[in-house]
Amino acid sequence: MSLLKTSLTGLKADSFRHPLDLEATKTLKQIPGLDMMVRTWLGPMAEQVFYVENIASSILVGEKQLPNLHNLLLEACQTLDIAPPQLYVRQHPAPNAYTFAMRGKQPFVVIHTSLLEILTPEEVQAVIAHELGHLKCDHSVYLTPVNLLILAAATVPNVGAILAQAIQSQLLEWVRCAEFTCDRAALLATQNPKVVMSVLMKLAGGSPTLAPQLNLDAFVDQARAYDDISKTELGEMVKFAHTAQLSHPVPVLRAREIDRWASSQEYQKLVHNHGINHKGEPASSGGWRNW
């Protein structure tokens, strides 16, 4: 039996933004001239450089090129109420996906072939939707200048190095918060937490051979065990030291976060209040309707 996902018309980024991301992004927005510097000065050159690189070295997905991926993109964009960016597939051995948008004129998403090889179509759509979350929330506008600040501070001897380290720590913390938000975008697009958690499981230890053998329930149990580490002061210290220099939260933590949010009234109300199904009718509170 097919299931019909709900398109979230009028969906605003702040309505699903993770609280930690919301707080960190508000702080970045208060930096004078930051947004203008990126959109006006850095944007035109960076967009052109990346455009040439993608056209030259990747496959541009469209109606005539990998149409199944193109349809997954369009459906996710419709559900999240966002204009479709360009989608590229790039040959690369490291499973990964990323997005870029400086001025919003030429946004794009790139997915590595090695990631596509371990995911189902539904999981691929979750990855696409995660990257759309970065575009929806305008994350790239703030990530680029902070990276430049780190580079500038690092060129100043002694004090500059200390400043760079402090800025980098703050940046990584913000980036980790932003990832929680984009996992929520993946859930809103797929409307199935098991799909999103399965992606995280495969990113933690998947391969073309192992992926079909992985057990999601066992991975969720593993995530709960990770939570239990925080019950002691030593365990919490070890967790903090392990994650402080990471650009992404650890997969088990991301899985627990999405599991909790999927069960929350906040998520249910968000889908119900914004949802319109493909027949133009209000959505059910659960976000799914049978054909």
* High-pLDDT (> 70) share of the chain, %: 65
CB-CB contact of 164 with 239 (8 Å): no
Q: Please, what sign has the CA dihedral across residues 198, 262, 101, 63?
A: positive
Question: What secondary structure does DSSP assign to 192-205, as a single string?
Answer: -HHHHHHHHHHHHH
How many other C-beta atoms lie within 10 A of the C-beta of residue 40? 12
CB contact burial 160-199 (16+ within 10 A = b; e otherwise): eeebbeebbebbbebbbbbbbbbbbbbbbbbbbbbbbbbb
Q: Write down the pLDDT at residue 287.
A: 31
Write the pLDDT tens digit of every residue in 276-288. Answer: 443 344 443 333 2
Write the pLDDT tens digit of every residue in 24-73. Answer: 777 766 766 656 666 666 656 666 777 788 889 999 999 999 999 999 99
Average pLDDT over residues 101-108: 70
Residues involved in catalysis: 131
**pLDDT tops 60 at residue 223:** yes
Q: Please, what sign has the CA dihedral across residues 50, 52, 53, 54?
A: positive
Average pLDDT over residues 225-254: 64
Give the residue, 20 or 88, on which the prediction is more confident.
Answer: 88
Count Cα neighbours of 290 within 13 Å in the Cβ-side half-sphere: 1
**pLDDT tops 80 at residue 151:** no
Average pLDDT over residues 245-255: 73
Q: Which pTM value belongs to this model?
A: 0.80
CA distance 138 to 150: 20
